[in-house]
Amino acid sequence: MPYGTANSKKTLPNVRRLRARLGLSRRALAKALGASETALHRWEHGRAPGKHFVPRLRELAVQARTGKVPRLRLGPADLGPLPDLRALRRKLDVSRRAVAKFLGVGEASIANWETGFRRPQKWHLARLRDFAATEIPP
76-122: pLDDT as tens digits? 344 455 667 888 888 888 889 988 888 889 999 888 888 777 778 77
Is the pLDDT at 39 greater than 60? The verdict is yes
Is the pLDDT at 131 greater than 80? The verdict is no
Q: Report the pLDDT averaged over residues 9-23.
A: 74
Of the two residues 60 and 108, the one the predictor is more confident about is 108
How many other CB atoms are there within 10 angstroms of residue 99's CB atom? 23
Mean pLDDT of the residues in the chain: 75
pLDDT at position 81 is: 54
What architecture is domain 6-74? Orthogonal Bundle (1.10)
CATH of 79-133, one of 1.10.150.530, 3.90.190.20, 3.90.550.10, 1.10.260.40: 1.10.260.40
Percentage helix, strand, coil for the chain under 3-state DSSP, each rounded to 5: 60, 0, 40
Nearest to 56 by CA among 27, 21, 18, 24: 18
Is the pLDDT at 19 greater than 70? The verdict is yes
Is the pLDDT at 6 greater than 60? The verdict is no
Buried/exposed code over 43-72 (b: 16+ C-beta within 10 A; e: otherwise)? bbeeebbeeebbeebeebbeebeeeeeeee
- Sign for the CA dihedral angle at 125, 66, 73, 107 comes to negative
Domain residue extents for the chain:
6-74, 79-133
